[in-house]
Structure formats: structure tokens, C-alpha cells
A and B are shown apart, each in its own frame.
Chain A
Amino acid sequence: MINLIVDDKEIKVEEGKTVLQACLENGIFIPNMCFIKTREHPHASCRLCFVEIDGLDRPVTSCTEEVREGLLVKTDTPAVRRLQRMGFKLLMSAHHRDPKECPVKGSCQLIRIAKHLKVGLKSRPLELLERDVDEEVDLTFFTYYPFRCVLCGKCVYICRQRNGQNLLTFTNRGFDTMIAFFGSGDPADLSCHHCLACANVCPTGALVLKPEYSEAAGSEDSSKVRMLVE
């Protein structure tokens, strides 16, 4: 076991864990969007999980820092908050809110982060990002909403984990980046409506199972995915 001090509180964790994992397991919340417990190589793309570590001259992403004995971690310094708030605003400029249509039931990670950072859900002073992509994209079993997606990559990762190969992938680049399927053959041959890992893991409601498939889907399965992720 390794001892580290986070915000003046001493915590113990197993060796090999990351600072983010150590904090989350000990009830210390650090904002995060792209973190998945089982992922060996952190994506580190959401730019929200910054912390300050004694001895390092600038804040670092806690998902990429492994715990070391006697580490001194601070999660709420002004520099950390500044980076997190800006990162959050950038995400919110890509995530167009529509509370009436939002399929995320229960706790929304974005709202939780906004409360934690004491900022609103608007991207102000940043503008809403207008991208030259369709509002809805048909992905056979799912409908994909690019303007909700923050490209955390959880769905792509979980798809590969569960199926050995990814059926889902990122396509294009920059502001045009989207999630897509690719392949010939009858899409109905895919067993996506039995897996649903991608739709269940999506924190922003950007991947939604089409209503015509929702009956075939097992609800038991979705809770398994949640456990795997949290």
C-alpha cells in the first residue's frame, strides 16, 4: 500500500494506481469525462482532472500520474481551477444543451462537474461551437448526435473491449471528428443491440439506441456495463 496526502487528508491505495483513481476511490471528487477504470492507457483528452503535485511546477492531469509514496496532491488550487473551468467551458461550447430532449437520466456528469467547479452550464464567454456536420447521424442501431458528443472516446474504447475489435471508431479530424461504424454486410448481423455498451457508457447522451431496438435490449446488461465503468 502507498500513502499519499490529498488536500491535507491522508489516503492509502494499492501500488500502480493513478492519482485520479486513488482520489475517486477515497471519496475525493476530481472532475473527469474520459476516465474509465479498466483503461490501461488513459486517454487524457477531457483536460478536466488537473491537480497540483508538490515538486512539479505546473498542474498535471491526475489520470496520467501514478501514485508514489508520500505524494502531496492539491485538487483545488487557483491554477487547477482555472484550467478546469476553461476546459469545462470548451467542452460546453461543443455540447449543445437541450434539457427537454436530453436522454441522460439521473445524474449528469456535466452538471456534477459544473457544480463542483461552481460555474454555470453555459460556455460563456466562449461561443457555442458551430460545426459543419449533420445534427443526427444514423448508426444502424443507434442515433448519434454530434452536437452532444464531447469526444471523450469512452464508446470507442468499450466497444473494442467487449468485441475484441472496434465496430465503432472516430472518423475525420478536428471539428469534423465524429463517431462512426464502418463495414459492409448486413448491419443486422451485428449483435449491437445485445451489447449496448457504447450507449450505456456515453456520458452526454450522444449515442442513443433507436426506439425500435429498445425492446430487444436487455436491461440487465446495461447495469453490468455501468459497474465496469465506474
Chain B
Amino acid sequence: MTTPELAGEERAMVEEITAMLPLFEKSRGNLIPILQSIQEKHAYLSGAAMEMVAEHLSISPSEVYGVATFYNQFRFHPPGKHQFKVCLGTACHVAGGDIILENFERKLGIKDGETTPDREYSIERVACVGCCALAPVAVVDDTVEGHIQPSRVEGIFVQFQVEREREEREKAERESGE
């Protein structure tokens, strides 16, 4: 399934991590700082990355995985081109934020924290985005969608599709014009 492009990306990631690891002392206490700096650079932790960290610190890959999955800050899938952050803070929870999350999940066939195979979309659940008066809230890329309804979720996808079609048309026009 992996395209040559993705395989290349993964190789580059492995190389960068190999170069970075010696900067950290081989102590268990460094596990989280290492994971954080990998994620800072590559936006997520791949399986291969976690195994490399385990080897560097002489602990089992399982242990690294256990620690990484405990914390909400770590992601295990590359972020999509478009990111949906669905708020499940108290106010949004009461206003049915979980229904909105489910709408996104069902529409894309992935769960929160995951990315579609084409890397187009990813869904994340967040605890609060700071505008509880607008509950339920979702943040689509950088736009806050307040009082979001299931129908609006559909609308967002239609919007993205229209945008993509327009881009493709313009691209085709440019190419034919040249």
C-alpha cells in the first residue's frame, strides 16, 4: 500500500532520528523528552521511531508504546491535509459534542486520532478550545465552527470537495493554457 513517496518520507524520518538520538543520554528519564522532540519534528510517532527509541534506551518497544499511548499529546498517525479537532470539553460534551465526533468518524471511516489512508483528513478530540459559549465546537483546520450541527459536518465536506474540484479545474486550465 505504501507509495514510493511515503517510503521515502519514512526513510528520511529514520535517518533524522538516527542522527538525533545520540544527543540524548541513554537514561530512562529521557524517554518522554525524546518522544516529544521526535513528534515536534515529524508531527507523529511511527512504529519504527518508537522501536528506535527503545533500542537507544535499552528498554522494550512495548514499554515505549505503553508510555506514549498514556499521554494525549502523542499521535501515532501522520496528520491529514485537513484536520478536524472536535471539542469534548464539559460544555461541548453536554451540548452533544460526541455526536459531532461520531459524525466525522462515520463520514471518514476512521476513529479519533487517526488519519484517512489518503492522508487527506485526520480527526482529533480536544478537551477545550476556549469558546464554550459556542458549544458544540469543532476546529476545522484553523477555523472555529461554533454551534456545529450534523448537517454542517456534511456541509464542510461538500465545501472541501468543491474546493478540490475548483483547484483541479484551475490546474487543468493552466496546463492547457501553457
Contacts and interface: CB of A to CB of B under 8 A. Distances in A.
A165 B60 contact: yes
Interface residues of B, number: 16
B58 to A, nearest CB: 9
Interface residues of A, number: 14
Interface in A161-183: 165-173, 180-183
The dominant DSSP class at the B interface is: helix
A215 B71 CA distance: 39
Count chain B CB atoms within 10 A of each CB in A168, A183, A184 and give the residue with the most.
A183
A183 B64 CA distance: 10
B35 to A, nearest CB: 14
Nearest to B64: A182
Contacts, number: 46
Interface string B51-88: 10000000111111110011110000000000000000
Contacts of B47: 182, 184
B62 A182 contact: yes
Given A182-B50, A183-B51, A167 B65 contact: no
Contacts of B69: 171-173
Contacts of A182: 47, 50, 61-62, 64-66
A166 B71 CA distance: 19
Nearest to B111: A132
B51 A184 contact: yes
Closest 3 CB pairs of A and B: A169-B66, A165-B60, A182-B65
Interface of B: 47-48, 50-51, 59-66, 69-72
Interface of A: 165-173, 180-184
